[in-house]
Amino acid sequence: MVRTFSDMILADNVDEINVSLEQVSEYLVMLHCEAGTMQLTINDSNYLVQQGNVLVCMPQSLVGHYMRTPDFKAKVLVVGKHFFDNVINDCFEVEPNWWQKAIYMRENPVWEINEFQQRLLHAYYQLITVYTEDTNTPYRQRIIRSMAQAAAYEILAVLDKIIASSAPTSSEGTSASQTTVTGAKDRLLLQFMQLLNRTGNTQRDVQSYAHQLLITPKYLSAVCKEKTNRTASDWINQVMVGHIRHYLTKTNLSIKEIAYQLDFPDVSFFCKYTRKHLGLSPYDYRKSQSQ
């Protein structure tokens, strides 16, 4: 059975949703495998989802060919961009080192969780579905939002157990001003990530993002490097390469049309950019993926 609320979809089976796994770049997709197995590619990497596994596919990810066993069964949650920004990002905003978890989820979309964690996520799923069906419940929207946030915190707690601590932390010697600065940098990084993942965004220079954030390009790059160990240009290129992969593998647009869609000055520049970041020309990359 499928339940919808705002731009959130809950389904008891993959076949019940209209959003194909090959068209999920605008959504966050969370899938809990209850039986069988599924094999798929995300951003050109192969993954196997088995019973008890959780798959978390972040927005702007490119999901490719997939196949599954006849007995495959999974609970599916599809979250649109608006709901993601207003619920998930609220959790990240108050979570220490949230960027580490965001990076981990993008680079490690399949997790193995224990039986208790599976029961817990299933309970949240059931609760949310109850409230999506009862349209007469007062404060229904706030309740569903709060439960979705609570479920997100449970997922972050799971990540806490998966991700090894990178460095010891200590509160000694931390002044109030230092804490404020750190919080300001976290918020700035979150705003930068939101700009990066806007639908239709094709900006490739750090200066354009810095201008929107009312800071200098140098400061934006410094904050990204300090917080994520990646420069602002690295993040911008990662998003742009995702767009290029999508157009080359999921559309029939010509190379010239793709270059135009992504605001490249000409086809030659687009080809050089693609070869630099994907190791192949646009034509060769498209050919390799089709094979």
Task: Encode pLDDT of 176-221 as tens digits.
Answer: 334 344 577 877 887 888 788 776 778 889 999 999 999 999 999 9
CA distance 132 to 135: 7
pLDDT value at 36 more than 90: yes
Does the pTM surpass 0.85? The reply is no
Sheet holding 45-49, edge to edge: 45-49, 38-42, 63-68
pLDDT value at 252 more than 70: yes
Instruction: Quote the pLDDT of residue 232.
Output: 92
For the segment 136-142, the average pLDDT, to the nearest whole number, is: 81
Q: Which residues of 24-61 are buried (b: 16+ CB within 10 A; e: fewer)?
A: bbebbbbbbbbeeebebebbeeebebeebbbbbbbbbb
